[in-house]
Amino acid sequence: MTTHSSFITKVITAGFFAAAAALIVPTSVLAEGGHDSTTEKGHKGSGGSDKGHGGTETTHGSKKSGIVGGSSSDTTSKKGKDAAAKKPWSHDGLPTVTTDVDPITGEIIKTPVYLTIGGVVQYDADGNPIPVLDAEGNPVYTTTKTLELGRLNAGRAPQKVLDKQIWEALNSVTDWSLYTASTDLSAVIQAIKDGTVKVDSPLQNLALYKEILLHTSDSTNVFTKKVDDVLVPHTVAEKLGSASLTDAQLAAIFLAGASDKTQAITAESVQAINIIMGITLPDGITNESLAADANAIRQQILITHDGL
């Protein structure tokens, strides 16, 4: 009887482990199945993201601010954010660029890298900054610097703020002859020298800079604000549509008006503000050409301002 009971116990035990083994799934199978499931969810998430992106149109032209602008600017702004995310950025959020080239030797100016702890440069016993050395014991140098944008940082403002500033400029500036009567940049520089009125606010200049580059000076996007319970509409075309200057030249004027008077406008700073504002330059317009024209105008603004 004892032998029979022992035999039954062994059979039951063997059956239990066999059943348990049948329920065990190899780890590789679980991982494979989980990967497929995750991948599928990722694709669905991407689809949802596209759907959400289309919804940005409803936020453009805030009803709260009473300003309504062209609906395509938010899409461009989103593109700008995507583009900016792919660019190299320094620790403080500004893009980094190659340092200046020595005008005599043509060599890139290099800056030594010093040892820092918690952002503080460390010094040796003699009071000299401790250089960072490479594997061979040679000092490490950097050829990048943080780009200073100054007043151009105003371009970080959201689109609804820029829309409002466009309306303010179109509504408040009464003399647009600097932009419409000039036939070339030499005439613009002379008009500035003569004291012709121009848009002065950095934010208004940058808002108009963006609007022209994205939608041209013939833009019929309507910017509206309620004044005394009456909606007052304006378009860029009504002020600049008759201009003889090209859109690139007009953009250069607005960029110069937005910049610091004492800070040179370079191709790097133009590239940086375009990234920040989500601007893709139209064909035929380059960072270099915009910088050259804007900087020439900026210099005259500085001379006129300081009475030189």
The Cα–Cα gap between 241 and 219 comes to 8
* pLDDT given for residue 40 in this prediction: 34
Q: Among candidates 285, 269, 265, which has minimal Cα distance to 277?
A: 269
Bridge partners, 129 (sequence order): 123
Rounded to an integer, what distance in angstroms lies between the CA atom of residue 302 and that of residue 263?
10
Q: Per-residue pLDDT for 135 more than 90? A: no
Query: How many Å apart are CA 217 and CA 199, to the nearest integer?
Result: 15
Provide the token pair at 146.
């943080």
Q: Is the pLDDT of residue 58 over 60?
A: no
Q: What is the pLDDT of residue 41?
A: 31
What pLDDT, in 10s, does the model give residues 13-43? 444 444 444 433 333 322 333 333 333 333 2
Angle, vertex CA 108, rays to CA 113 and CA 153, nearest 5: 75
Instruction: Report phi then psi at 117, rounded to 5.
Output: -130, 120
**Backbone φ and ψ of 285, nearest 5°:** -115, 130
Q: What is the pLDDT of residues 209-229, one digit of tens each?
A: 999 999 999 999 999 999 999
Max Cα-Cα span within the chain: 122
- Where does the pLDDT of residue 78 fall: very low under 50, low under 70, confident under 90, or very high at 90 and above? very low
**Residue 44, pLDDT above cutoff 80:** no
Q: pLDDT for 251-278, tens place per residue?
A: 999 999 999 999 899 998 999 899 999 9
